[in-house]
Structure 1
């Protein structure tokens, strides 16, 4: 599938067979990147000419250049050579001029990328604090299972259902909240979820029966679900490419820290005031977090889909719709928004000379379209209208605020700005589940589910292992202190995963002629398998043999270290393989983790643990982890060909045709 002209124009690159480059038909595949071939070509994506342009809405902003957009078989727009050259000369950079801004911010103060740095960082910290609270709600009762069992006169095994069913709510909620955020905006979803989070936390604290507590926990999971599927997209919308890695690290650290710090704090509260106050305290903290979100997290959506010259008027049949939408957005705006401001709120715009005609030409170089005839799909006029109309409608929100006066702070507090996309909600909601047909996503979902799931499984066993009189006879507070070990392990794992993985990637890319393949990340499967398997087996063995309390606690930290490696690797591999579907992929991964692991294991793990003991159970869990990680070998060998297969099939966009 490689392009002969590109190969002749580029210097020959010496490649060594790394196990995934033996298929001549998949030399260039979307997801492969020219990483080490000179400063001017670093991070150059390969195989974009083979990839159809995305036509559906996503929670993630457009991450591709015009080249990718031109790959679509449905549009062949032309570009002006003069306008293209002018755009290239006016690339915006950082104040020191050393870094070209990607994506390029527009000449309007209403572009979220043009917010002052302190506003963007405040938005990140406000969202991170909220995510830390949400991330810790899964094991919030880990040290208080016995207290809840005593209150409702039930077994500890039944109390474990509050965790599994809460994770079911997380999984279902993520599948509901993500498409809602795509269509209506992320800000209203965050605000509504925070209010629901407060209400369900109060409900949990006031629950008069175990059934009421379970129902409250399920709805609490739905309320918390946005913290798992939306923040990565929010960060991508308000920070430039060179700023994202650090900011995503901050978000990830806060989210994972919450899973270990919240149960630690809740253990102190449970020990002093009872388990009900753990939920009431959560409600108080979430109320504070909701205020921060309301004040400092604006709507971050901004459509950056490339708009080729001449595309604006490609169809006439959608103009009535655009006029109607323009009226809608104007009615939504504040009373003074339509007045012409003579202040300097808006940067000056370049004025085109209408008498100067520009000759439309076919794109050259990287923007050249393939001359080979491509297979055409039979499409009805209704499908054409639907697809083109959806793209134009998506521009309407951005078009309105691009030309409107600068939003004042009080205007950013508005909770809802109108519908952002007119895609069909059900179609958007179903799209993440189509990704189960993508082998790379399926592998990532498996590893991510295992990585997060084992920590939840151990949290369900904490009370039985540490608070039992037959073992260590810990108090709630002492059992909560155990979570310092996985906290340290998780922080180390997060730090090591990124750094060590990047070193491996660069070394392998160097041996591969400078070309990076997402499958290089799979080398991390070896330390993931070893650390997690050893941690699980050692934890169960030490607990049953009644070794000193520090021994199983250290093994708990080793499990957390391996799980951090696994979760980071799974997300990175998945996003690197299918960056254009990153929003849907996060929903797929979290749904798998919450339903296929969290819920399923909670249905039988407590009874299994009570019947067989910690040694037998955790040895079996370690064997499951090791056996499933062996699937990394065929994924490494055939992953590139699998990516090319999914590109040819193009499942998601085929599903979108005629349904938007």
Structure 2
């Protein structure tokens, strides 16, 4: 911990001025997520551009905002990788659904059920994990949920009957779903507002690409080692991540209320790992209302309009290829399992990675540019212009994908369409998550659960209607219809650019978790 403090001092000494209260105990906590600094504020810490840091860190070394930058990256990469493992574990077997159904002697049409079982479980489970994480801390929930995920994934590989496999897959989704929701809150725990675009972008690119990397590995893995290894390998990788987490992932939940800071006793690194009851947890209680609070956030247009655009974009830009590529590319291009895995994974992976190079840093730049010209005031809506390219790219990519398949062009045509749509989706994902975190940072755990629930539930039925719809009106017109629906939902984000600030001020801030 001494090394952590030394690194922090070196990093911030050029602008770090500590001013204690009359009792010499706590930092001033004068500003909120969207407040501009007032002239009367004294000695507030600033970033390298001279803008006031939001939120203001305390003077305690175990405050996650005071951790050295290298250690924040260690935690960020763990959180991101855990978010990656959720969809990765569920999708490794996707290119091998035909041999899987043969192994269990069930109709091939039943194969997607094991994937949809995980999708539903991943969507619902965080509604329970998030309230627990807000009361008992992030770390114990990560530990418990990851253990459940490892055990259930091993059980999936060892299953002897189809019904046993489905039950194991449900528990795998329950376990691996936590990082896909509370990861948002964890990133916000350790980074300042001006860093969130880039750092949230890293988390979202891992989250988005879990199901993209999986089939690249899964197709050849099933061919060479057998379909059961599509479960055993993810369990082994998750187990390795769990071991690292035990020693390198301290608690990140930290209260910034003056009352709790006054009672806070600084913890050593060992205590941060094994003493879960931090200052943020002293007066927290779990209630029935805790489990419905994600849905309470829908009363805020900043959440609702981005939520609708995100879940529709995710379903049609990511899940639509996942549930159609294997069947359509086999029928039109006669590819085998391994090649299908590449066709499904690589264009989505490349498009998403390239999208992240633009989305996170660009959205942070928009916020910085606005703050420099408005007296240091950081308005969340200043981040939204970074999403504008997605309004064209996501629908265009889907249309290219469908038209090329319908007209049986070279396979590069639909692959290019998937990559373009995936590029746009990364803009949507990063900017929407970061924007909502700027608006309602204390409630970012609930927003993450809401996003996750909507994403999974909206995507769940896609496998049941996409191909039947294409068979009825052709692939070309089916995909054009879905693209137009996505374009329609994007209009809400455009409205937020002009009305978002007015609506936020009128509705005020939620009255729970205000100390985070």
Question: TM-score, structure 1 length as denominator?
Answer: 0.65
**Alignment check: 8 A CA contact 1:493 1:565 kept:** yes
Q: In the aligned structure 2, how far is the partner of 1:193 from the partner of 1:492?
A: 31
User: Quick one: which of 211, 220, 224 aligns to 1:259?
Assistant: 211
Q: SS of 2:250's equivalent? A: coil
Q: Deviations over 1:288-331 (max 9, x none)?
A: 11101111111222211234xxxxxxxxxxxxxxxxxxxxxxxx
Partner of 1:134: 86
Q: Deviations over 1:39-71 (max 9, x none)?
A: x9xxxxxxxxxxxxxxxxxxxxxx9942559x9
User: Quick one: which of 265, 290, 295 aligns to 2:242?
Assistant: 290
Partner of 2:327: 464
Deviation at 1:117, TM superposition (A): 5.0
Q: In the aligned structure 2, how far is the partner of 1:215 from the partner of 1:582?
A: 31
Q: Deviations over 1:13-46 (max 9, x none)?
A: xxxxxxxxxxxxxxxxxxxxxxxxxxx9xxxxxx
Q: In the aligned structure 2, how far is the partner of 1:281 from the partner of 1:107?
A: 44
After superposition, residues 423-442 of structure 1 pair within 5 angstroms as 423-442=285-304
User: Quick one: which of 426, 439, 443 aligns to 1:564?
Assistant: 426
Do residues 626 (structure 1) and 487 (structure 2) align? yes
Do residues 547 (structure 1) and 418 (structure 2) align? no
- Bigger drift between 455-464 and 566-575 goes to 566-575
- Bigger drift between 602-611 and 428-437 goes to 602-611
**Alignment check: 8 A CA contact 1:540 1:614 kept:** yes
- Bigger drift between 201-210 and 529-538 goes to 201-210
**Alignment check: 8 A CA contact 1:497 1:565 kept:** yes
After superposition, residues 82-161 of structure 1 pair within 5 angstroms as 88-89=42-43, 103=55, 105-115=57-67, 118-161=70-113
Partner of 1:639: 500
User: Quick one: which of 290, 305, 310 aligns to 1:443?
Assistant: 305
* Pair 624,152 (structure 1): closer, same or farther in 2 beyond 3 Å: farther
Considering only aligned residues, what root-mean-square deviation do their CA atoms show, in Å?
A: 3.7
* Pair 233,508 (structure 1): closer, same or farther in 2 beyond 3 Å: closer
Q: In the aligned structure 1, how far is the partner of 2:513 from the partner of 2:192?
A: 29
Do residues 485 (structure 1) and 347 (structure 2) align? yes
Q: In the aligned structure 2, how far is the partner of 1:238 from the partner of 1:577?
A: 17
5+ unaligned residues in a row in structure 2: which ranges? 1-14, 16-26
Deviation at 1:516, TM superposition (A): 6.3
Partner of 2:466: 605
**Alignment check: 8 A CA contact 2:301 2:500 kept:** yes
Q: SS of 1:489's equivalent? A: helix
Q: In the aligned structure 2, how far is the partner of 1:574 from the partner of 1:220?
A: 28
Do residues 66 (structure 1) and 30 (structure 2) align? yes
* Pair 194,297 (structure 1): closer, same or farther in 2 beyond 3 Å: same
Q: SS of 1:269's equivalent? A: helix
Partner of 2:21: none
Deviation at 1:205, TM superposition (A): 1.3
Name whichever structure is richer in helix by fraction.
2
Q: In the aligned structure 2, how far is the partner of 1:186 from the partner of 1:503?
A: 30
Deviation at 1:399, TM superposition (A): 2.9
User: Quick one: which of 265, 271, 275 aligns to 2:223?
Assistant: 271
Q: SS of 2:332's equivalent? A: coil
After superposition, residues 108-257 of structure 1 pair within 5 angstroms as 108-115=60-67, 118-239=70-191, 246-257=198-209
Q: In the aligned structure 2, how far is the partner of 1:656 from the partner of 1:116?
A: 25
* Pair 602,399 (structure 1): closer, same or farther in 2 beyond 3 Å: farther
Partner of 1:399: 263
Q: In the aligned structure 1, how far is the partner of 2:467 from the partner of 2:28?
A: 47
* Pair 514,460 (structure 1): closer, same or farther in 2 beyond 3 Å: same
Q: In the aligned structure 1, how far is the partner of 2:299 from the partner of 2:293?
A: 11
Deviation at 1:287, TM superposition (A): 0.7
* Pair 171,162 (structure 1): closer, same or farther in 2 beyond 3 Å: same
Q: In the aligned structure 2, how far is the partner of 1:236 from the partner of 1:503?
A: 18
- Bigger drift between 629-638 and 570-579 goes to 629-638
Deviation at 1:618, TM superposition (A): 1.5
Do residues 616 (structure 1) and 480 (structure 2) align? no
Q: SS of 1:187's equivalent? A: helix
**Alignment check: 8 A CA contact 1:237 1:300 kept:** yes
* Pair 437,259 (structure 1): closer, same or farther in 2 beyond 3 Å: same
- Bigger drift between 454-463 and 637-646 goes to 637-646
Q: In the aligned structure 2, how far is the partner of 1:502 from the partner of 1:656?
A: 25
Do residues 575 (structure 1) and 437 (structure 2) align? yes
**Alignment check: 8 A CA contact 2:200 2:434 kept:** no
Q: Deviations over 1:409-446 (max 9, x none)?
A: 3x444274486543333222211111112222111111
Structure of greater Rg = 1
Q: In the aligned structure 2, how far is the partner of 1:208 from the partner of 1:263?
A: 23
**Alignment check: 8 A CA contact 1:139 1:163 kept:** yes
Deviation at 1:521, TM superposition (A): 4.7
- Bigger drift between 628-637 and 270-279 goes to 628-637
Q: Deviations over 1:161-205 (max 9, x none)?
A: 333332221121111111000111111100111111111111221
Q: SS of 1:167's equivalent? A: helix
**Alignment check: 8 A CA contact 1:157 1:607 kept:** no
**Alignment check: 8 A CA contact 1:201 1:283 kept:** yes
User: How many positions carry a matched residue from both structures?
Assistant: 481
* Pair 64,549 (structure 1): closer, same or farther in 2 beyond 3 Å: farther
Q: Deviations over 1:389-418 (max 9, x none)?
A: xxxxxx39x83533xxx5253x44427448
Q: Deviations over 1:590-632 (max 9, x none)?
A: 211111x122324433544555553333222112212322344
Q: SS of 1:299's equivalent? A: coil
Deviation at 1:224, TM superposition (A): 1.4
* Pair 501,249 (structure 1): closer, same or farther in 2 beyond 3 Å: closer
5+ unaligned residues in a row in structure 1: which ranges? 1-39, 41-62, 72-84, 308-394
Question: TM-score, structure 2 length as denominator?
Answer: 0.81
- Bigger drift between 607-616 and 252-261 goes to 607-616
Higher relative contact order (CA 8 A, sep 6+): 1
Q: SS of 2:256's equivalent? A: coil
* Pair 153,536 (structure 1): closer, same or farther in 2 beyond 3 Å: farther
